[in-house]
Amino acid sequence: MSFPFVQHPPLDRRAFMAYFSQLGLASTLLPGVLWSQANAAERPEITAQMIATAEQIAGIEFTEAERETIARGLNRLPDNYAQLRDLPITNAVPPAFQFNPVVPGMTFETDHRPFPALAGPAREVPANIGDIAFWTVADLARALQARRITSTALTAMYLDRLKRLDPILKCVVTLTEDRAIAQAKQADEEIAAGKYRGPLHGIPWGAKDLLAVKGHPTTWGAEPYRHQVIDTDAAVVQRLDEAGAVLVAKLSLGSLAQGDVWFGGRTNCPWDPERGSSGSSAGPCAATAAGLVAFAIGSETMGSIVSPSTVNGVTGLRPTFGRISRHGAMALSWTMDKLGPICRSAEDCALVFNAIHGPDGVDTSVSDHPFNWSPDIDLKKLRIGYVKSAMEPTGEDRSHLRRCVETMTTLGVPLIPIELPEFPVGALNFILTVEAAAVFDDLTRSNRDDLLTEQHATAWPNTFRRMHFVPAVEYIQANRARTLLMQQMHGAIKDIDVYMAPSAHQLLMTNLTGHPQICLPSGFNDQGTPTSVSFVGRLYAEAELIAVARAFQMATDYHLQHPEINA
């Protein structure tokens, strides 16, 4: 194909893509490829002067002779880049390397023990089914197994709440009503026939809309992908289907997993709808808190489960990196992305995590470690620490943190004071953003990034643009520094099983090292909105981590509070 309209100097990229859009051809070709091919003959030669200017970006200095040699070598590379950009590399294709959070000296349990049956009697179901909207998964499961309620009735109730309350919360991207009704009907038939699959059988849930579901849009919360349909079910969707759970809705996330603003508006907090839900698991957390679903699946790269769990007063589990398959989930950072359950209790997180963890043979970053859950573990047999300087603050009013320490003390747990490594963690933040820029390179090159709702200086479009100028050497060096951080973190917590900390404390650090964290409500602030505390565990030790969180919740009632929201 020839391009007789290519001008001299070459046509501006935006103008070129706009022209082709008018011809109705731009969307049929790999974004950015046409522009690069059309301008190949007129590509400006890289000169020694350009190298001298670029040295200021890279923080390095060369001689004039070295610059001339560098320029000659760089002038040979654009053809290689163009060939690579012609390849159909979709969001689902990971790089040929993987992050492993394990450092030398770590040992892990290897025996897989059976998951214990859900104990306890079924609660009486009130005449008004809406009164059970805030029941835990465990309570709903007991009622379903005892056939005191049907999945069909439960699903209809949650669908009704989703429809009525979404105009206030803006947490629903797509209702999966037909799918849900069919799944609920099947669940009722199987339970009636004695074919009970387990505690998620017949339980309605919601998926963060970065998880692919066949036959439904998977929008990633972003206008450029608003009508995208991926012809597969994400691995976690498949696992939950196998467990008999009922998918009722695909829930909002901030555009491309940043914040709480998406193409449908801002997702709001049910405790205060004038306030955003935080992100990026904004919809899953708001919907769970508001009693629109029994549980949800969210994702975290650097706070996207912990932050909205705090704001919405729900219990969110960010598992160890490599615990749950990300197949069928939007990639943002291959070495940091994690999926996890968002629930109303720690015990519910255990029930959901048990159904979705483990290798699937597709996401090769997932390792096969046991989840030997015991809800009534003897806390005195665990070594439980707390970040003393952060949990006992002076000056500002953070009394809820001090109360959390007191609660653990009343349980007879001798808390061990610890401090985390002093490390320039913030300097490693660009590991995430460089990977994200690579994931969405085609979005930047095609100029479709202009379609994203937010365009401020720190929004994704400008971040992706900036990250194109981070030297590859610096990215590799940052990952070497990450190894040092992992080693120091292991040294700091190797003598404890779980530690307690403010939820946002060293959030980047623990996401970089891959440690699991569970965030749970710890009270309310002066504005009447929730506060939280978190427990962080050893790698792959979710069983102990969740058990400690459950013990905390058995001694408090913060997780039982819910917002009054009506429409």
pLDDT category at 396 given cuts 50, 70, 90 is low
Six token digits for residue 389: 């300087």
DSSP string, 455-499: -STTSHHHHHHHHTTS-HHHHHHHHHHHHHHHHHHHHHHTT-SEE
- With contact defined as beta carbons under 8 Å apart, do 513 and 426 qualify? no
Residue ranges of alpha helices (H) inside 170-221 are: 177-192
pLDDT category at 334 given cuts 50, 70, 90 is very high
What lies within 8 Å, CB to CB, of 210 at 6+ separation is: 218, 220, 221, 253, 257, 299, 329, 330
- With contact defined as beta carbons under 8 Å apart, do 173 and 209 qualify? yes
Residue 468 CA from chain centroid, whole number: 24
**Chain-wide mean pLDDT for the chain?**
92
CA nearest to 333, candidates 365, 306, 285:
365
Across residues 150-160, what is the average pLDDT?
98
Distance CA 312, CA 112 (A): 34
Amino acid at 245: A
Q: Is 235 exposed, middle or buried (0-12, 13-18, 19+ CB in 10 A)?
A: buried
Q: What is the pLDDT of residue 567?
A: 75
**Res 139 pLDDT > 80:** yes
User: 129-423+475-560: CATH homologous superfamily?
Assistant: Amidase signature (AS) domain (3.90.1300.10)
- With contact defined as beta carbons under 8 Å apart, do 176 and 246 qualify? no
Distance CA 265, CA 254 (A): 9
**Res 9 pLDDT > 70:** no
pLDDT category at 24 given cuts 50, 70, 90 is very low
Distance CA 161, CA 176 (A): 14
Residue 284: C-alpha distances to residues 43, 45, 345, 452 (Å): 47, 50, 14, 21
Distance CA 561, CA 567 (A): 19
Indicate the helix (H) or strand (E) that contains 340.
strand 338-343
CA nearest to 281, candidates 189, 210, 362, 381:
210
pLDDT category at 376 given cuts 50, 70, 90 is confident
Indicate the helix (H) or strand (E) that contains 389.
helix 388-391
What lies within 8 Å, CB to CB, of 231 at 6+ separation is: 214
Query: Percent of the chain scored above 90 by pLDDT?
Result: 88
**Beta-bridge partners for 384:** 498
**Res 29 pLDDT > 80:** no
Residue with tokens 């959901």: 352
**Res 257 pLDDT > 80:** yes
Distance CA 420, CA 184 (A): 47
pLDDT category at 6 given cuts 50, 70, 90 is very low
DSSP string, 129-153: GGGGTT--HHHHHHHHHTTSS-HHH
Across residues 435-440, what is the average pLDDT?
98
Q: What is the pLDDT of residue 40?
A: 53
What lies within 8 Å, CB to CB, of 321 at 6+ separation is: 99, 101, 335, 336, 338, 365, 514
Q: pLDDT tens, 81-103?
A: 999 999 999 999 999 999 999 99
- With contact defined as beta carbons under 8 Å apart, do 298 and 304 qualify? yes
Six token digits for residue 205: 């849930």
Q: pLDDT tens, 463-511?
A: 999 999 999 999 999 999 999 999 999 999 999 999 999 999 999 999 9
3-state secondary structure of 503: coil
Q: What is the pLDDT of residue 19?
A: 43
Six token digits for residue 521: 């409500």
Residue with tokens 């699937």: 360
CA nearest to 489, candidates 503, 476, 499:
499
The secondary structure of 97-127, three-state, reads: CCCCCCCCCCCCCCCCCCCCCCCCCCCCCCC
**Res 1 pLDDT > 50:** no
Residue with tokens 């997780």: 559
**Res 454 pLDDT > 90:** yes
